Structure 1
Amino acid sequence: MHTFALYEDPLHGEHLVISGYEIGLNMVPDKMKISDPILLRHILCLLIVAHNCFHLILCRRQLKLCKRSNDPPSLMDDSMSPEAFEVSKDKQLHTSYLEVFNLILDTIYSCLDLYLSTLAYFWKITVGWYRYADDIWLNVTYMTMFSTYLVIRMLPSLFYEKLVLDPKFNVDPEKSPPLVGMICALAFVVVFLQIAIIPFTAIFMAIQELNVWYCILLVWLILVGLSLFILGFVGIFGVPCLGKSRKLEDADINDDLKEVLHSFKFPGRVYLVHTFQIGRPTAWVMGCFCCLRLDIHDNLKLNRGLDSDDLDSGEVGAGLKDEQLAAFVAHQLAHWHLRHVAKALALIYLNLFIYLVLFGLCYNWQTLYWAAGFTPLYPKTVGFWLVYKYLMPVFRDISTWMVFFFIRHFEYAADAYVVRRGFGSAMKAALLKLFTDDNEFPYVDHWYLMWHRLRPSILQRIQHLQRLNRTHAVSAISLI
């Protein structure tokens, strides 16, 4: 079978030829050293299996907890009916089973990609098509094929969810997108990725010509600068895609909220955000220095601040009363007062820097590419995936635990600060009301939560508030 190039540059007299040693389907290492690509391939697959089995155990713990829970916790007897509990339980079972399936699928895909040299096969196709093209064009084409392949890998999970899990757990078809719609959405994702890949690949190919450590420093500075720019932007303009914002004057602010703002001496502006669609009710303090604003989403207010006649039946009664809303805003202002955003950003920047340093040490490791089936001629862009997928999972687990641990305890610290300001009872009532509106499954396995939940569960936060008020004995271990 002859392979014909789709694009040939007449200025080039010779075409690329992939040559050199490739391990293919060989399974027996030539030497028992990490420099042997066949042995490294076995080690990489073992790392993936161990990593995914660890998270599989965590998901199974949450699944087991969900199955054996038949009633809502006693703290929520008045706020959660048995029917609502069963609905939330089915929703959690649906999520847990899907997580388990995705982990198993990812393990199979990751191992097959190495043993079958799938990524190297895509490179051979690319070079066969564009034998006379330059390096940038080859890498752009390769990333186009690779990104499409990653999207196609999502199809079994999609079919499992829509054809097995949705009927099993009685998911309302009107509240869940249909299978055909999701497939069309994936097709749109493929098109969007192709549009994004061309400039990003070209920029990367230009940056990677620098020394690897200059490249790492430049990427880190760009990411830090971009995040600070976004922080300043939202401090001035908010998040326009969420809805239209309206600045609240003193006449528009109720007495409870005025008391909170006065108590915290908040210097910024206060906005009410009219959300385009029902999302998670929340409020937040955004920005820094003179660009500081408090955004309160209208769905956080009782009945969105409207008459019952102007609402759908499902929205009537949702939201917080004035006293509860004030306590919730006090919690967000406590985050601002305790500088939790700055601390979280510093922790994320530090983890990002360490990640990039480790990435730089591994990116030019030639044996890694040979273990994936490549020869000395390989696409530069594939190194991102190989390092991220096969070498960094252990670091990601450690860094995720650390970041999640501190952010969860930022929530506890903000709740404690609110209690000291005298808003503890109202804060507990606000959490219970938000829980009632959302019907979230109340139980979360502690080990699962450490790696899969950025914030504590509502039940944990209520128990923490009770511990602060000394009305209920709660183990400190349970708050980890």
Structure 2
Amino acid sequence: MFSIDEILVRNTIILLLWLEYLFETYLSLRQFNTATKAKDVPSEIKDLMSNDDYSKAREYSLAKLRFGFVKDFYSIIVTTVVIHQGLLGIVWDYSESINPFTDEVSTSCLWLTILSFLSTIIDMPFTIYFTFILEEKFGFNKQTAVFFVWDKIKAFLVGQLLTSMISSIVIVVIKNGGDYFFIWLWAIACIISLILLTIYPAVIAPLFDKYTPLPEGELRTKIEALASSLKFPLTELYVVEGSKRSSHSNAYFYGLFKSKRIVLFDTLLAKDDGTGCQDDEILAVLSHELGHWSRNHTIKNLVIMEVNLFLLFLVFSFMFKYKLLYQALGFTHIQPVLVGLFVVLQYVMMPYNTLLSFAMTVLSRKFEFEADDFAVQLDKGRYLELALQKLNKDNLGFPVHDWLYSAWHHSHPPLLQRLNVIKKGVKLFEEKKK
């Protein structure tokens, strides 16, 4: 039985989860109502989207919102039951009972693996529906059933391997780091994050998708010339076979210090059916991406992440010995440090995490405008406009948004706002050139 104090802590966690769920649902309902009413193409974008493209994008947006309503409600019910019934503690007891070892590290890793497996199974019906019904209906899914199953198995195995390794290190540092373990934990976390940023694109991502060098030709020559003109330390230029998974498009760069790699999705390249972008439009998209590099956006985000980690670990160092946090979740006879870390970071810091997420969304929008302006200053503005319109069409982006939903969720500015700012920038740029 739970004590009064344990019930209070448990119910406070549940209340915070439901408040967040209700707020997110309220925002989604606002967007759903906006999309439902916006049946006709707004006058300001009649030149950008045909009636058919607009109608299809609207239906896709509504379908995803309906899916989100069901999935989010299901998720909050499952989470409420898990916390209310102390199922996390029950899984821990089971992990102890089947673990041939008696140490906390191995039990914690086994506990995480079991929870991850159960979570995967619980979410699988929604994943299958989204991939093979919703995305299939709108022409995005390219996965076969065999590819899907093997992809999920690989993702689970790789995820558990990385999670177990990192969790083991975290537990050892916390238990042996003394009163100021949070400093050591933060230093180790910084090192691990840098290692993952380095090895994930080069080692882990190729386990899931095929990466091939961009063939010699005009596009490659233009990209290399662009990188050279900006002194961008380009070492590799790849095309990822994203079309086996989805028809959505993207491009990005990765790498630390003087070794950078650019990756283009094959869906971004122009095709016979009219989808994709022409060479000059791809160069404009890459100019935007290189704008993030030039303005040090990646470094700034990394610094914010590390400062945030330090604050989270500092709070954790004060709270992880609070017995009620464990007892409220069903841990009656033990206080596993990994469970404490999970509870503090996931539940106790929930209000802070929510506000930080919104602040990062605002900052991300600012960075996107700065990257767009960088492309404009390279005289790529007009091609960037065309590329954004094509990508929006190919990805069935719906251009009409409720202002509050967009402000809270969209890390990239809405298409119309973004195009308007680019147009103004192009006009100013061309006036300066005269």
Superposition TM-score, scaled by structure 2 size: 0.80
Is 1:336–2:293 an aligned residue pair? yes
What is the CA deviation profile of residues 274-324 of structure 1, one whole-angstrom value per residue up to 9, with x for unaligned ones?
332336444444435432454555543433xxxx5xxxxxxx322323433
2:35 corresponds in structure 1 to 66
Residues 122/228 of structure 1: CA separation in 2 closer, same or farther (3 Å cut): closer
Quickly say closer, same or farther: Cα 1:229–1:125, change in 2 above 3 A. closer
- The 5-angstrom pairing of residues 22-421 of structure 1 reads 22-23=1-2, 29=4, 36-127=5-96, 133-155=102-124, 157-158=126-127, 166=133, 171=137, 175=141, 199-211=165-177, 214-229=180-195, 241-246=209-214, 253-254=221-222, 260=226, 264-269=229-234, 272-278=237-243, 280-297=248-265, 299-303=267-271, 308=272, 316-421=273-378
Residues 109 and 167 of structure 2 are in contact (CA less than 8 Å); yes or no, is this contact kept in structure 1? Answer: yes
> Superposition RMSD on alpha carbons, in Å?
3.9
Task: Show structure 1 runs of 5+ residues with no match.
Answer: 1-21, 30-35, 309-315, 472-480
Task: State the Cα deviation string for residues 12-52 of structure 1 (Å, max 9, x = none).
Answer: xxxxxxxxxx51xx6xx3xxxxxx22222222221111111
User: Which letter does structure 1 place at the counterpart of 2:185?
Assistant: V
Matches of 2:101 and 2:289, distance apart in 1: 58
- C-alpha distance in structure 2 between counterparts of 1:149 and 1:237, whole Å: 27
* 274-283 or 81-90: bigger deviation: 274-283
- Aligned partners of 2:249 and 2:267 also within 8 Å: yes
- Give the % identical residues: 22
Deviation at 1:409, TM superposition (A): 0.8
What amino acid is the match of 1:59?
A: S
* Distance (whole Å) between structure 2 residues aligned to residue 174 and residue 333 of structure 1: 28
2:404 pairs with one of 447, 455, 460: 447
Task: For residue 75 of structure 1, report the CA deviation from its aligned partner.
Answer: 4.4
Give deviations 1:70-126, integer Å, cap 9, x for gaps.
133444434433222232222222221222223322322232223222222333444
Query: What secondary structure, in the 3-state scheme, does the structure 2 residue paired with 1:273 have?
Result: strand
Q: Decide whether aligned partners of structure 1 residues 181 and 234 sit closer, same or farther in structure 2, where only a CA change above 3 A counts.
A: closer
User: C-alpha displacement at 1:368, in angstroms?
Assistant: 0.7
Amino acid at match of 2:259: C
Question: What is the CA-CA distance between 1:151 and the residue it aligns to?
Answer: 2.7
Pair member with larger Rg? 1
CA shift for structure 1 position 437: 2.6
Aligned to 1:435: 392
Query: Does the aligned pair in 2 maintain the 1:61–1:448 contact within 8 Å?
Result: yes
- Paired residues in the alignment total 423
| One-letter amino acid matched to 1:275 | V
Match of 1:463 in 2: 420
Q: Which runs of 5+ in 2 are unaligned?
A: 429-434
Corresponding letter in the other structure for 2:211: G
Shift of the 464–368 alpha-carbon distance from structure 1 to 2, 3 Å rule, reads same
1-structure distance, mates of 2:28, 2:324: 33
Q: Deviations over 1:171-219 (max 9, x none)?
A: 2699376899978876776666665565455444423312366443333
Quick one: structure 1 residues 459 and 37, their matched pair in 2 at CA, closer, same or farther if it must change by over 3 Å? same
Q: 1:74 to 1:230 in 2, by over 3 A?
A: farther
Q: Which has the higher helix share?
A: 2
Letter in 1 for 2:34: L
SS of residue paired to 1:359: helix
Which secondary structure state, in structure 1, belongs to the residue aligned with residue 176 of structure 2? Answer: coil
In structure 1, C-alpha distance between the alignment counterparts of 2:226 and 2:157, rounded to whole Å: 48
For 1:444 and 1:198, how far apart are their aligned partners in 2? Answer: 41
Task: Work out whether residues 247 and 272 of structure 1, in 8 Å CA contact, stay in contact via their aligned partners in 2.
Answer: no
Q: Structure 1 residues 203, 296: CA separation in 2 closer, same or farther (over 3 Å shift)?
A: closer
Q: Is the 8 A contact 2:372 2:422 kept in 1?
A: yes
Partner of 2:432: none
Q: Secondary structure at the match of 2:56?
A: helix
